[in-house]
Amino acid sequence: MTTITRRRAFALLAVTAGGGTFLSADLFLRSRPGAAAQPLITGAGVCSIMPETTEGPFYFDPDLERADVTEGRPGLPLTVRLQVVDASCAPIPGARVDIWHCDAEGAYSGYPRQPGGRDMTGETFLRGTQFADQQGVAAFSTIYPGWYPGRTPHIHFKAFPDERSVLTGQMFFPDDFSRAVYTELAPYNARPLDGATFNDRDGIARRAGSAAHAEMARSGGAAEAALVVAVAA
Protein backbone atom coordinates (compact mmCIF):
# COMPACT_ATOMS: atom_id res chain seq x y z
CA MET A 1 0.00 0.00 0.00
CA THR A 2 1.34 3.44 -0.92
CA THR A 3 1.92 5.72 2.08
CA ILE A 4 0.77 9.32 1.77
CA THR A 5 3.75 11.63 2.23
CA ARG A 6 4.32 15.34 1.71
CA ARG A 7 6.16 14.55 -1.51
CA ARG A 8 3.37 12.28 -2.83
CA ALA A 9 0.51 14.23 -1.30
CA PHE A 10 -3.12 14.28 -2.26
CA ALA A 11 -4.51 17.65 -3.29
CA LEU A 12 -6.28 19.26 -0.34
CA LEU A 13 -10.06 19.07 -0.29
CA ALA A 14 -11.82 21.03 2.44
CA VAL A 15 -15.52 21.46 3.04
CA THR A 16 -17.27 23.70 5.55
CA ALA A 17 -20.58 25.34 6.33
CA GLY A 18 -18.87 28.69 5.78
CA GLY A 19 -17.21 29.63 2.53
CA GLY A 20 -15.00 31.79 0.42
CA THR A 21 -11.68 32.01 2.29
CA PHE A 22 -8.27 30.41 1.98
CA LEU A 23 -5.65 29.95 4.68
CA SER A 24 -2.10 29.09 3.65
CA ALA A 25 -0.13 26.58 5.66
CA ASP A 26 2.52 29.25 6.30
CA LEU A 27 -0.09 31.63 7.73
CA PHE A 28 -1.48 28.82 9.84
CA LEU A 29 1.95 28.10 11.30
CA ARG A 30 2.70 31.78 11.97
CA SER A 31 -0.64 32.22 13.72
CA ARG A 32 -0.22 29.12 15.92
CA PRO A 33 3.21 29.05 17.64
CA GLY A 34 4.47 25.53 18.14
CA ALA A 35 2.17 24.04 15.46
CA ALA A 36 3.48 20.99 13.62
CA ALA A 37 5.32 21.59 10.36
CA GLN A 38 2.74 19.51 8.47
CA PRO A 39 -0.64 20.19 10.13
CA LEU A 40 -2.74 18.59 7.39
CA ILE A 41 -2.66 14.92 6.41
CA THR A 42 -2.60 15.81 2.72
CA GLY A 43 0.55 17.90 3.08
CA ALA A 44 -1.17 20.59 1.02
CA GLY A 45 -0.11 24.21 1.26
CA VAL A 46 -3.60 25.73 1.32
CA CYS A 47 -6.63 25.17 3.52
CA SER A 48 -9.66 25.72 1.28
CA ILE A 49 -13.01 26.66 2.80
CA MET A 50 -16.08 25.66 0.74
CA PRO A 51 -19.85 25.21 1.19
CA GLU A 52 -21.24 21.87 2.34
CA THR A 53 -23.13 19.58 -0.07
CA THR A 54 -26.51 17.85 0.10
CA GLU A 55 -27.06 14.83 2.33
CA GLY A 56 -29.02 12.83 -0.22
CA PRO A 57 -31.81 10.31 0.45
CA PHE A 58 -29.93 7.33 1.88
CA TYR A 59 -28.53 8.37 5.27
CA PHE A 60 -29.28 6.62 8.51
CA ASP A 61 -27.21 6.06 11.62
CA PRO A 62 -26.76 2.30 12.18
CA ASP A 63 -24.95 3.05 15.46
CA LEU A 64 -21.89 1.14 14.28
CA GLU A 65 -18.56 2.47 15.48
CA ARG A 66 -16.15 0.60 13.25
CA ALA A 67 -13.20 1.22 10.95
CA ASP A 68 -13.97 -1.60 8.48
CA VAL A 69 -17.36 -1.04 6.87
CA THR A 70 -17.12 -3.49 3.97
CA GLU A 71 -19.10 -6.42 5.45
CA GLY A 72 -17.63 -8.54 2.66
CA ARG A 73 -18.89 -6.41 -0.25
CA PRO A 74 -16.66 -7.06 -3.29
CA GLY A 75 -14.70 -4.24 -4.90
CA LEU A 76 -11.41 -2.36 -4.99
CA PRO A 77 -10.19 -2.00 -1.37
CA LEU A 78 -10.13 1.68 -0.46
CA THR A 79 -8.71 3.38 2.63
CA VAL A 80 -10.49 6.66 3.34
CA ARG A 81 -8.94 9.14 5.79
CA LEU A 82 -10.84 12.27 6.78
CA GLN A 83 -9.19 14.90 8.95
CA VAL A 84 -11.58 17.23 10.77
CA VAL A 85 -10.11 20.68 11.43
CA ASP A 86 -11.45 24.06 12.50
CA ALA A 87 -11.52 27.20 10.37
CA SER A 88 -7.86 27.88 11.20
CA CYS A 89 -6.88 24.33 10.13
CA ALA A 90 -6.25 23.11 13.69
CA PRO A 91 -7.23 19.42 14.11
CA ILE A 92 -10.33 18.61 16.21
CA PRO A 93 -9.56 15.44 18.24
CA GLY A 94 -12.58 13.30 19.05
CA ALA A 95 -14.75 14.64 16.22
CA ARG A 96 -17.29 12.09 15.03
CA VAL A 97 -17.28 11.12 11.35
CA ASP A 98 -19.94 9.04 9.60
CA ILE A 99 -19.55 7.73 6.05
CA TRP A 100 -21.93 5.91 3.75
CA HIS A 101 -21.92 5.02 0.06
CA CYS A 102 -23.21 2.54 -2.49
CA ASP A 103 -21.63 -0.81 -3.34
CA ALA A 104 -19.98 -1.79 -6.62
CA GLU A 105 -23.40 -2.32 -8.20
CA GLY A 106 -24.79 1.04 -7.10
CA ALA A 107 -26.92 -0.17 -4.17
CA TYR A 108 -27.16 1.41 -0.70
CA SER A 109 -27.72 -0.66 2.40
CA GLY A 110 -30.80 -0.17 4.54
CA TYR A 111 -33.29 0.81 1.81
CA PRO A 112 -35.71 -0.92 -0.60
CA ARG A 113 -35.95 -0.23 -4.34
CA GLN A 114 -32.24 -0.24 -5.00
CA PRO A 115 -30.76 -0.87 -8.50
CA GLY A 116 -32.03 -4.11 -9.97
CA GLY A 117 -35.10 -3.95 -7.73
CA ARG A 118 -33.14 -5.21 -4.75
CA ASP A 119 -34.45 -4.67 -1.23
CA MET A 120 -31.57 -3.83 1.12
CA THR A 121 -33.74 -3.12 4.15
CA GLY A 122 -31.96 -4.26 7.32
CA GLU A 123 -28.50 -4.25 5.70
CA THR A 124 -25.70 -2.03 7.05
CA PHE A 125 -22.83 -2.52 4.60
CA LEU A 126 -20.63 0.46 3.67
CA ARG A 127 -21.76 2.54 6.65
CA GLY A 128 -19.97 3.34 9.86
CA THR A 129 -18.73 5.83 12.43
CA GLN A 130 -15.25 6.66 13.69
CA PHE A 131 -13.98 9.24 16.18
CA ALA A 132 -10.98 11.31 15.19
CA ASP A 133 -7.58 10.73 16.77
CA GLN A 134 -5.33 13.47 18.19
CA GLN A 135 -4.57 14.64 14.64
CA GLY A 136 -8.29 14.92 13.87
CA VAL A 137 -8.12 11.90 11.56
CA ALA A 138 -10.86 9.28 11.18
CA ALA A 139 -9.91 6.33 8.95
CA PHE A 140 -12.12 3.74 7.26
CA SER A 141 -11.54 0.56 5.28
CA THR A 142 -14.11 0.27 2.52
CA ILE A 143 -14.36 -0.34 -1.25
CA TYR A 144 -14.37 2.08 -4.14
CA PRO A 145 -17.98 3.18 -4.67
CA GLY A 146 -19.90 2.08 -7.73
CA TRP A 147 -22.23 4.26 -9.78
CA TYR A 148 -25.95 4.54 -10.30
CA PRO A 149 -27.88 6.55 -12.92
CA GLY A 150 -27.89 10.30 -12.41
CA ARG A 151 -24.95 10.54 -9.98
CA THR A 152 -21.20 10.55 -10.36
CA PRO A 153 -19.22 8.22 -8.04
CA HIS A 154 -19.06 9.67 -4.53
CA ILE A 155 -18.81 8.96 -0.81
CA HIS A 156 -21.10 10.76 1.63
CA PHE A 157 -19.88 11.91 5.02
CA LYS A 158 -21.05 13.77 8.09
CA ALA A 159 -18.56 15.42 10.43
CA PHE A 160 -19.66 16.28 13.96
CA PRO A 161 -17.04 18.57 15.57
CA ASP A 162 -19.17 18.67 18.73
CA GLU A 163 -22.60 17.57 19.94
CA ARG A 164 -24.32 20.68 18.55
CA SER A 165 -22.83 20.89 15.07
CA VAL A 166 -22.72 18.77 11.93
CA LEU A 167 -21.32 19.28 8.46
CA THR A 168 -22.56 17.18 5.54
CA GLY A 169 -20.42 16.66 2.46
CA GLN A 170 -19.55 14.39 -0.44
CA MET A 171 -16.17 13.24 -1.71
CA PHE A 172 -15.77 12.98 -5.49
CA PHE A 173 -13.15 11.26 -7.64
CA PRO A 174 -11.36 11.93 -10.94
CA ASP A 175 -13.29 10.56 -13.91
CA ASP A 176 -10.26 8.81 -15.38
CA PHE A 177 -9.71 6.95 -12.11
CA SER A 178 -13.36 5.87 -11.96
CA ARG A 179 -13.41 4.77 -15.59
CA ALA A 180 -10.28 2.69 -15.08
CA VAL A 181 -11.79 0.95 -12.04
CA TYR A 182 -15.12 0.34 -13.79
CA THR A 183 -13.61 -1.07 -16.98
CA GLU A 184 -10.69 -3.06 -15.55
CA LEU A 185 -11.94 -4.59 -12.31
CA ALA A 186 -14.63 -7.05 -11.26
CA PRO A 187 -17.39 -6.76 -10.20
CA TYR A 188 -17.59 -3.20 -11.57
CA ASN A 189 -16.91 -4.25 -15.17
CA ALA A 190 -19.92 -6.55 -15.22
CA ARG A 191 -22.03 -3.48 -16.06
CA PRO A 192 -21.65 -1.42 -19.24
CA LEU A 193 -20.95 2.27 -18.69
CA ASP A 194 -23.65 3.43 -21.13
CA GLY A 195 -25.87 4.67 -18.29
CA ALA A 196 -23.11 6.03 -16.06
CA THR A 197 -22.91 9.68 -14.98
CA PHE A 198 -19.57 11.36 -14.35
CA ASN A 199 -18.46 14.65 -12.81
CA ASP A 200 -19.25 16.98 -15.70
CA ARG A 201 -22.88 15.79 -15.81
CA ASP A 202 -23.50 15.76 -12.05
CA GLY A 203 -24.97 19.03 -10.74
CA ILE A 204 -23.88 18.41 -7.14
CA ALA A 205 -20.29 17.73 -8.19
CA ARG A 206 -20.26 20.80 -10.44
CA ARG A 207 -21.49 23.04 -7.62
CA ALA A 208 -18.89 21.58 -5.26
CA GLY A 209 -16.18 22.49 -7.77
CA SER A 210 -12.89 20.91 -8.71
CA ALA A 211 -11.50 21.23 -5.17
CA ALA A 212 -14.00 18.59 -4.00
CA HIS A 213 -12.63 15.96 -6.41
CA ALA A 214 -10.24 13.65 -4.59
CA GLU A 215 -6.84 12.78 -5.98
CA MET A 216 -6.24 9.08 -5.54
CA ALA A 217 -3.22 6.96 -4.70
CA ARG A 218 -3.40 3.44 -6.13
CA SER A 219 -0.88 0.70 -5.56
CA GLY A 220 -1.43 -2.84 -6.76
CA GLY A 221 -4.83 -4.08 -5.66
CA ALA A 222 -5.77 -1.22 -3.31
CA ALA A 223 -6.27 2.55 -3.24
CA GLU A 224 -6.25 5.45 -0.77
CA ALA A 225 -8.18 8.70 -0.56
CA ALA A 226 -7.71 11.60 1.86
CA LEU A 227 -9.91 14.58 2.66
CA VAL A 228 -9.47 17.51 5.03
CA VAL A 229 -12.82 18.68 6.37
CA ALA A 230 -12.62 22.27 7.63
CA VAL A 231 -15.57 23.02 9.89
CA ALA A 232 -16.61 26.63 10.57
CA ALA A 233 -17.13 27.59 14.21
Predicted confidence at residue 43, as pLDDT, reads 57
Residue 157 gets the label, from left (phi > 0), alpha (psi -120 to 50) or beta, of beta
Q: What is the pLDDT of residues 171-198, one digit of tens each?
A: 999 999 999 999 999 999 999 999 899 9
What total number of domains does the chain contain?
A: 1
Return the pLDDT at 2.
34
5 found inside a domain:
no
Name the nearest CA neighbour of 21 among 89, 84, 95.
89
The β-bridge partners of 168 are: 158
pLDDT digits (tens, 9 = 90+) for 23-36: 344 444 444 444 44
Residue 197's identity, in one-letter code, is T
Q: Which residues of 40-49 are buried (b: 16+ CB within 10 A; e: fewer)?
A: bbbbbebbbb
* DSSP label at residue 221: T
Residue 194 belongs to some domain of the structure: yes
Residue 10 lies in a domain: no
211 inside domain: yes
Containing H/E element for 11? none
In a domain? residue 224: yes
Rounded mean pLDDT, 56-70: 96
Q: Which domain holds residue 92?
A: 22-231
- CA-to-CA distance for 217 and 110, rounded, in angstroms? 30
Concatenated DSSP letters of 76-131:
-EEEEEEEEEETTS-B-TT-EEEEE---TTSPPTT-SSBGGGB--TT--TTEEEEE
Q: Which of 7-11, 70-74, 169-173 has the lowest mean pLDDT?
A: 7-11
In a domain, 4, yes or no: no
- Give the domain CATH number at 33: 2.60.130.10
User: C-alpha distances in angstroms, 22 versus 89, 92, 217?
Assistant: 10, 19, 25
Query: Going edge to edge, which strands form the sheet with 96-100?
Result: 127-131, 96-100, 154-162, 165-172
Mean pLDDT of the chain: 81
Tell whether 9 is covered by a domain: no
Residue-wise pLDDT tens digits, 196-209: 999 989 999 988 87
- pTM of model > 0.75: yes
pLDDT of residue 219: 87
220 in a structural domain: yes
pLDDT at 56: 87
